[in-house]
Structure 1
Amino acid sequence: MMSENSINEAIQKAAQKIVEAKAIVITAGAGMGVDSGLHIYRTQNDFLDSHPVARELNLSLPDLSNVNLFQTNPHLAWGFYGQRWQMYRKALPHAGYQIALEFCISKRKRKGKGDQYFVFTSNVDGHFLSAGFNPSRVVEAHGTIACMQCLDISKSKEVWAVPSKTKIKVNKQTMLAQDPLPMGPPGSEHPTLARPALRFYNDKDWIDDPFKKKEEEMEAFVSKIKSKMQPFVVLEIGAGDRDPRIRVRSLGESLAKENDLCTLIRINTNSEDVAVPNPEKNIAIQLPALLALVRLEAKLKTSSLLNAN
């Protein structure tokens, strides 16, 4: 557990690095959404406590987040994701998103150029886009619950935004979605069963072309920064390492390891997850996402750092 003095020192150091940076790469995991009221599941019991029907059915998160379920029991699959979709639509991005966006925009204002940031997130809630981040600068590594695709990709490989009038009615007692289930693509004469455009467990049919293209653009952006020998920061927020699908942590660590001019700023509440490699160079802040961002903003506003560049 970090002491308050250690956290203050880390906030000061991180604020300085943000000011000095010519660009920012934000990497975010599930912990970023906690202050928006979204759940984070560290254990199976955490998940089951939030989904009592799943407990009754003896189903785990991997069981319900498996593309095979859409094939064998589409009403249950859409019941689970219908609830999640409704939850994400109701939740609003917390104030930390706007603070992080201001950090990013400050780089554009300072140089009078285009956006000097990228976001790489494993979250599927779409909150970075809702908060006003440039869509062309947000890599949603696992897709987004705001989009759909066909379950049978031999029918179509189109990825479409969930129509605004879409309603997924779910029986809360059984967690089964009611008919009609989502179909698509829109406008098709022969629509077929749809699924969220997310990367599930055991998923070979996720259409990742739109997301992969943005990731390639992010890699080109980082390469350009490195070629110019410019300092930049990786602001990693709320990323754990328990899910092997999530590359948020490895991305930040690899960038910091490969580049002397890159500083990793890691924000996490968990004492194990917050530890950083090479702590003389990189910075750990053991706080919730929103609180850490608020304190960073306050440090920038109340110190001479604002005029450092």
Structure 2
Amino acid sequence: MSISPVLLARAAELIQQADGLIVAAGAGMGVDSGLPDFRGNSGFWQAYPALGRARLDFASAASPRTFEQDPALAWGFYGHRLALYRSTVPHAGFDLLRAWAERMPQGCAVFTSNVDGQFQKAGFDAQRIYECHGSIHHLQCLDSCHQAIWEADAFAPQVDANACRLLNAAPVCPHCGGLARPNILMFSDWNWVERRSAAQAGRLQSWLARVQHPLVIELGAGTAVPSVRHFSQHVLQSHGGRLIRINPREPEVADRHDVGLAAGALDGLLAIENALSSAR
């Protein structure tokens, strides 16, 4: 990987000028920790060959209908992911972001489309994390009998990885006794309980109102699922922020004052840290 020293120097300058850091992260943020990003059917089926044999794509597997029609398969998929995320160690880039933010007067907030809980595990303040698609570490009723959301800590999934099927009992709703599901916004999902994410959004907006010179560092967020990119654009337009976009395939930025780095998340962050070290 070769990144322009001029771009890295500009990125270091933006970090030094900011009084608050917004980390905006998509699926590519977790790749360096060993997590799959499900890019296309081939990548998804490589991670879940049983679903590939059944020709079940990500949008079909990640839907309430699969929980209704085949709960063991749906929880096989999500149970495997839950166990994977619980065991994954966040890569060193998370620590770099926290260290940069600690030097800023307003610190850091996180906006992420990821449901893996890696920012909490890496030590970021849970009160400043907005998970716009929910969290796999929280559950809700499949039928939305109640607006309750509860932690999944008591659920230890046992999964037949070859068949992608749950072997033990699935979690149930404490209010109606029906099937529980992850508190995640799925495809064709009309019953997602968004109360928790809405509260996170409110806290993030309150924090943004206090920041005078926000900097968005956007990592691994492409245009296929544009939630993170839309948020980055909102900060730039509504709060006068600047942007460092780190993306190996789509690093382009619209404003010449911003920075786009064609790199993976960890490589890009390490390169910026080297530039910061040289500037100190």
State TM-score, norm by structure 2.
0.94
Letter matched to residue 163 of structure 1:
D
- Residue ranges of structure 1 left out of the alignment (5+ in a row): 109-114, 305-309
Say whether the 8 Å CA contact 1:150–1:194 is kept in structure 2.
yes
How much has 1:178 moved relative to structure 2? 1.9
Which sections of structure 2, spanning at least 5 residues, go unmatched? none
Aligned-partner residue type, residue 168 of structure 1: P
Question: Which residue, out of 64, 74, 77, partners 1:77?
Answer: 74
Supply the AA of the counterpart residue of 1:252: S
2:265 aligns with 289
Pairing partner for 1:249 from 204, 223, 229: 229
- The CA distance in 1 between the partners of 2:55 and 2:178, in whole Å, is 30
Answer yes or no: is the 8 Å Cα contact 1:7–1:286 preserved in 2: no
Partner of 1:199: 185
Asked if 2 retains the 8 angstrom alpha-carbon contact of 1:21 and 1:233, the reply is yes
Matched, 1:24 2:4: no
Residue deviations 1:252-296 (CA, integer Å, cap 9, x gap):
12322445x4211100111xx111112x11110111111111122
Q: In structure 2, what is the Cα distance between the partners aligned to 1:150 and 1:224?
A: 36
Q: Give the C-alpha shift of residue 172 in structure 1.
A: 2.5
- 1:18-167 residue pairs with structure 2 within 5 A? 18-108=15-105, 115-154=106-145, 156-164=146-154, 166-167=155-156
| Secondary structure at 2:215 match in 1 | strand
2:274 maps to 1:298: yes
The answer as to whether partners of 2:49 and 2:162 remain within 8 angstroms in 1 is no
Name whichever of 173-182 and 281-290 sits farther off.
173-182
Cα displacement (A) at 1:191: 2.9
2: CA distance, partners of 1:219 / 1:195: 28
User: Displacement, 1:212?
Assistant: 0.8
Aligned twin of 2:198: 212
Q: Say which of 241, 246, 252 aligns to 1:275.
A: 252
TM-score (norm 1): 0.86
CA distance in 1, matches of 2:186, 2:4: 36
Structure 2 letter corresponding to 1:276: V
| Paired-residue identity, % | 30
Q: 1:93 to 1:161 in 2, by over 3 A?
A: same
Amino acid at match of 1:301: S
Report the equivalent of 2:243: 264
What is the distance in 2 between the residues matched to 1:23 and 1:31?
23
Amino acid at match of 1:161: E
CA shift at 1:218, angstroms?
A: 1.4
Which residue of structure 1 lines up, in the alignment, with residue 161 of structure 2?
172
